[in-house]
Amino acid sequence: MGHDCTPGSALPEATERPGICAIVGAGQGLGTALAERFARGGFDIALLSRSENSAEAARKAALAARPTTQVWHQSADATAPASLERALLALSADAGPIDVLIYNVRGAFTKCEPLDMTYDMLEEAFRMEVTGAFAAAKAVLPGMRTRGHGTIFFSSATAAFRGSATNPVYAIGKFGLRALSQSLTKAYAKDGVHIVHMRLDCDLDVPIMRGIYGATRDQAGLADPKDVAETYWLTYQQPKGAWSNEVEIRPHTETWTY
């Protein structure tokens, strides 16, 4: 993996620079909304995605929210865990410690019956949802533990709570992600690291979902990515004495799916 960490503008002195929020999976939709919200909250933003073009909307949103925001892009592939870890370590070496990590990666909604799953489908889902998430956490957790603070968000879904007759691959991946999040929390919360499994029980109001549903879905029932990002921000602000490690998000009109 090439290292192409490029700042949006000149890097200020370390004593003046706010913390860094790294977003793995910084595409349009929630990734862009998260970049905007954490930039507005004073964070510099590191965007990790397969291509710089895919993170362009997030870069623009972060700079629009706060023009002095430092924005970097690092090429990374969540299905290649070792290279993702190296990318985050290189980013930390160049830009400074990562204070917030958001693993915002989702596999495809591949419909099939359980017996029609292939080994390749399962292995790819596990690499993306679990091994990639572990690689990202592994890159930042030692520093967070040493500093005594840090926050890690894993973007997830209600599929982490229930199996599926039609989307078993997605459910299996999210089950694994939830187990990883809980395991890391139980091991490292005592060191001051806030680890949160963010479970979305809703569809986001993004072009791909509007295209899938068309006129069959009430658009008011879709969750605005900016509202979802605000919930991440509010969770980040929680005091240590009252942390949430499992957060469920849905619009008030959503029919509960479990």
Going from the C-alpha of 87 to that of each of 8, 49, 84, 104, the distances in angstroms are 18, 10, 5, 16
3-state secondary structure (DSSP) of residue 180: helix
**Position 11 confidence tier, pLDDT thresholds 50, 70, 90:** very low
Identify whether the C-beta of residue 227 lies closer than 8 Å to the C-beta of residue 249: no
Average pLDDT, stretch 141-167? 94
Tell me what pLDDT residue 4 has.
46
Higher-confidence residue: 108 or 175? 175
Structure confidence by residue, pLDDT tens digits, 55-105: 999 999 999 999 999 999 998 899 999 999 999 999 999 999 999 999 999
Going from the C-alpha of 236 to that of each of 38, 124, 248, 258, the distances in angstroms are 10, 30, 14, 26
Average pLDDT, stretch 161-189? 95
- Asked whether the whole model's pTM tops 0.85, one would answer yes
Identify the sign of the CA torsion 65, 62, 23, 93. negative
Going from the C-alpha of 255 to that of each of 113, 167, 205, 209, 213, the distances in angstroms are 24, 19, 16, 17, 16
**Position 54 confidence tier, pLDDT thresholds 50, 70, 90:** confident
Q: Tokens 């930042």: give the residue.
A: 140
Residue 135 contacts by C-beta under 8 Å, 6 or more apart in sequence? 81, 82, 84, 85
H helix runs in 75-159, sequence order? 81-95, 119-126, 132-147
Domain positions in the chain = 20-245
Separation CA 250–CA 258 (nearest Å): 13
Which of 2-11, 163-172, 226-235 is least confident? 2-11
Longest dimension (CA), the chain: 57
Residue 58 backbone dihedrals phi, psi, to 5 degrees: -65, -40
CATH code assigned to 20-245? 3.40.50.720
Tell me what pLDDT residue 211 has.
64
Higher-confidence residue: 6 or 19? 19
